[in-house]
Amino acid sequence: MKQGLCVYPGSFDPVTNGHLDIIERGAAIFPQVVVAVLHNPVKTGCFSIEQRLAMLKKACAHLPNVSFDRFDGLLVNYMRSLGAGVVLRGLRAVTDFESEVQMAQLNHQMSPDVETLFLMTSPEHAYLSSSAVREIGMFGGDVSPFVPLSIAQEVQAALQTKP
């Protein structure tokens, strides 16, 4: 098991300021953070995996110990392939708690050497989600307060063209 390596998995469709907050704080704790985008063939999402990865890279350009990858299938298998033992997740409001506990416990049961560490989302991002950003953008609202500055224009333009 590689020490000092953690994986921050998610959909990132698109990355929000809430995600960036967790990545920055994770990168201050762990020597190496891998941000891993789930490729779910059943749920294509709004942005392609390539777009999501490109936006993540742009938003995290100031973080030299953060790298980016994609995975499919079970997270625990991906963790094993990297030799990583720590999953990093952010917890927003209490509504996240049940599903996150379930995921952490099932992952731990399937792979006992995988631990999930939670960081509490900073209060200003407590109610922020990628789905809310998508909805705001698709209905013509300004997404710039909610996504990293470096990708705001790109997200806004892409969402405006969605049906």
Residue from the set 5, 6, 7, 10 that interacts with ligand PNS by CB under 6 A: 10
Task: Please answer whether residues 56 and 68 qualify as being in contact, where contact means their C-beta atoms are separated by less than 8 angstroms.
Answer: yes
Which one from 11, 52, 89, 92 is the annotated catalytic residue? 92
The only residue of 20, 38, 59, 60 in contact with ligand PNS, by rule CB under 6 A:
38
SS3 117: strand
Binding to ligand PNS, residues 40-99 (CB under 6 A): 74-75
| Look-up of token digits 């079970």 | 74
Single out the catalytic residue among 52, 125, 130, 134.
Answer: 130
User: Do residues 119 and 91 lie in contact, with contact meaning Cβ atoms separated by under 8 Å?
Assistant: yes
Q: Is 43 helix (H, G, I), strand (E, B) or coil?
A: coil
- Interaction residues for ligand PNS, span 96-115 (CB under 6 A): 103, 106-107
Structure tokens of 108?
């731990």
Helix axes 75-82, 95-110, angle to 10 degrees: 60
Q: Which stretch binds ligand PNS (CB under 6 A): 8-16, 24-32, 119-127, 143-151?
A: 8-16
Tokens (6 digits) for 113: 């050497």
Question: Counting contacts by CB under 6 A, is residue 11 touching ligand PNS?
Answer: yes
Active-site annotation, residues = 19, 43, 92, 130
Contact positions vs ligand PNS (CB under 6 A): 9-11, 38, 74-75, 103, 106-107
